[in-house]
Amino acid sequence: MIFLTADERPFKEGDYILSHDIQYLPTAPSTTYIVFKSKIKEKDILDWIDIVSFRLVFVIDKIPKLSKATKDRIIIDNSLLVGKESYNTAIQAMFKYNDRQYVYNLLKSTKTPIPLAVAWMKANTRFDAQKWRLLADVQYTLPDCYAWSIMAFCVVSKGRNPDWPKGSKKGDSYTPPLLCRESDIYTQTIIESSASIRNEIRDTIDVKEQNIITQRKETILQWL
């Protein structure tokens, strides 16, 4: 049997082989062959459909144009059937409805991408360290259902449509100094409050390569 999917994780059970493009004949019994392809044509499916011994899973981004006869012989996973409108419905519900169990079920059923939902959260929720720490603990490490739970039960409903995330304007961002990451949200606060940090930046980075502080060093008062 041939499967088309955008999410290979449900097929990673029992014996399975991962590859980019087909590198092994899918003829081993009780073995799932998971093949990543950027594009696939109906001809590719028909070439392999009678050869597959157990399961051949094509991981793709978009369903190719298929005849009804071919569709009847393969299985198209739900991950490829979810459209942008479904994502939008789940995200709108996250901020509109008080029934948080419904919101969770909607996020889960549409498999709303976590980065997309996070962008909307940043634009529509007040900063809550506990909530973002919980999300950071589960994002990219645990199944998505944990992140969806946090989004459903830790986000407070606004009772109205959410605000669209705003793109960053040119000139609003800066290159963080030293070993700071762009995601370090307290970088500017630390720099503005610590003269010793500012002096360290002056000693480390040429003033022409950063626009955060002036070149002139500051005097630091210390208790004896």
Predicted pLDDT at 180: 61
* Residue 217 in tokens: 């060093």
Predicted pLDDT at 85: 54
Spatial separation of the C-alpha atoms in residues 145 and 139, rounded to whole Å: 10
Spatial separation of the C-alpha atoms in residues 63 and 202, rounded to whole Å: 54
* Residue 218 in tokens: 């500051």
H or E segment and range at residue 55: strand 55-59
Contacts of 215 (CB under 8 A, 6+ apart): 202, 207
Domain shared by 15 and 76, yes or no: yes
H or E segment and range at residue 119: helix 114-124
In a domain, 124, yes or no: yes
The structural domain count of the chain equals: 3
Domain shared by 215 and 178, yes or no: yes
87: left (phi over 0), alpha (psi -120 to 50) or beta: alpha
The pLDDT tens digits of the residues spanning 80-123 come to: 776 555 688 888 889 988 889 989 988 988 888 888 888 888 88
Domain shared by 75 and 112, yes or no: no
Helix ranges (H only) for 139-211 are 144-153, 187-193, 195-204
The pTM (predicted TM-score) of the whole model is 0.43
The pLDDT tens digits of the residues spanning 35-79 come to: 998 788 999 999 999 999 999 999 987 888 999 999 989 998 877
Domain shared by 72 and 25, yes or no: yes
Domain shared by 59 and 13, yes or no: yes
Spatial separation of the C-alpha atoms in residues 174 and 172, rounded to whole Å: 7
